[in-house]
Amino acid sequence: MQPSLHKAVAIISIPKIIPRAEHTISRSNISEGALKVLYRLKNAGYQAYLVGGGVRDVLLGREPKDFDVATNALPEQVREQFRNCHLIGRRFRLAHVRVGADIIEVATFRAAPNADDADAGANQDTRDKNNPHPTDGDTCASGSMPRAAKDGRIMRDNVYGSVEEDAWRRDFTINALYYNIDDFSLVDYTGGLEDLNAGRLRLIGDPEQRYREDPVRMLRAVRFAAKLGFRIDPDSAAPLFKLGYLLDDISSARLYDETLKLFMGGYAVQTFQLLRHYGLFGHLFPYTEADLAHEESHFPLILVTCALTNTDARIAAGKTTTPAFLYAALLWGAMRTLAHQMQVQGMNEAEALQEAGNVIVARQVQRTALPKRFSLPMREIWNLQLRLTQITGKRPFVTLTHPRFRAAYDFMLLRAEAGEEIQELCDWWTRFQIAEDDEQQGMVNVARTGTVAGTGKKRTRRSRSKSGKAVSASQSGDSAE
């Protein structure tokens, strides 16, 4: 009934056992679903530990986002214990156990990434039994070498192990603390509790090797440092400055997922600052980084910072956020720069904005994927910025009914906050939204004969054709923002 253990790496460590009386984790801090999973595995004769972010956050006095369980039971054995359980994953099998509204992730103890698998058949993909953890420097079973040998990425990590091996193969010491349901003790193999108390983020093992095994660990280091307010240990921080290029080979889909974790977790401003400090931001948003290098009067840096601050505030207030708005702010400066270049070459403003948007989005999704359910609303937010400058005739009434009007209006306010000279236009739309019908019509009539809000430029009076029909500014090539 017990999984095979793989002991290729001689891990000799005596864990520090902190009894219940000497730590702050209480069962009252643990979700009912996680406790049910832990107790059922224990009663079935398996080892069962609470591990990872849930343990870390409870010790820090934070509200855990979720709880993960580690056990010596194989995934199929976990499934036998729980009716509402299904197995996921190809690289490594995990069990998801549904208890009420909660989903508890249960993982079998894993061996260290560089373990030598002496008993591969029962626990890994049999295509390459002689190398259970091929890295990018190894030739795969097919004979292909998917990445440069020097990168050393772990391609498969499908070996089970002991609780000790499971602790040492984790990324950060503060995520390698185990709460034992058997006696309610805290088990620490890697010095994680000392790091936690010191506010220190430290990688387990050789930092450069661990980053090469999985470059996304660099983003995780920044995210945890920003979220927890910890400092990254100097030895763990040093490779960040030189290994950012490894992110260029990570799939755009995975980087998109990591981007959401980085910027939509409530600590976006601090995360952004750390990413730029370590030179990692440009590997996620290369065109934004290039635009930041040529900023004028701190724009677009202020726009990006304002957007991230706004996102953090909404999350803190329990309000909804969307990647569409965040991406619109992150890519706005790069898009506007390209659109200006296209206008210089003879394209009108509307066409330039449309074409520049197409180009920037196409380029960006090569780095961080952006699903259409977010890229399309983002493009609508951009396109409406020009329509919001058109405040005569029926156009403002039509714009007001657009499904993305509110998001576009908020984005316009953000641009004004960042220093764009459109405050008069923002004020006009603020009043227009709440005005009665007669007042709205009066505002439109005044705008028709006055100045273009937000530009300070005298609005060109529309000429009339022989038929008496008005020719709009945009049709005559005179559209301003």
66 is catalytic: yes
- Cα dist from 270 to 196, 275, 285, 287, whole Å: 19, 9, 17, 21
Q: How many Cβ atoms are within 10 Å of 379's Cβ, its own excluded?
A: 21
Q: Measured between alpha carbons, how far is 374 from 385 in angstroms, rounded to an integer?
A: 17
The torsion of the CA quartet 261, 262, 267, 271, rounded to 10 degrees, works out to: 170
Q: How many residues does the chain have?
A: 481
b vs e for 253-263, b when ≥16 Cβ sit within 10 Å of the residue's Cβ? eebbebbeebb
From 66, 102, 119, 214, active-site residue: 66
SS3 77: helix
DSSP class of 15? P
Q: Measured between alpha carbons, how far is 328 from 81 in angstroms, rounded to an integer?
A: 47
* β partners of residue 364: none
DSSP class of 55? H
From 171, 188, 195, 291, active-site residue: 171
* β partners of residue 51: 68, 178
- H/E element holding 180? strand 177-180
Q: Measured between alpha carbons, how far is 213 from 113 in angstroms, rounded to an integer?
A: 8
Q: How many Cβ atoms are within 10 Å of 400's Cβ, its own excluded?
A: 14
Beta strands in 315-382 (DSSP E): none
Q: How many Cβ atoms are within 10 Å of 24's Cβ, its own excluded?
A: 11
SS3 409: helix
Per the CB < 8 A criterion, the answer to whether 171 and 210 are in contact is: yes
Taking Cα atoms as reference points, which of 218, 200, 220, 215 lies closest to residue 265? 220
3-class DSSP string for 287-324: HHHHHHCCCECCECHHHHHHHHHHHHHHHHCCCCCCHH
Start-end of H helices in 60-124: 75-81
Name residue, tokens 């390459």. Answer: 128
Pull the structure tokens for residue 96.
């998801």
From 68, 128, 157, 312, active-site residue: 68
* β partners of residue 401: none
Residues 6 or more apart from 29 whose CB is under 8 A from it? 58, 64
Residues noted as catalytic: 66, 68, 171
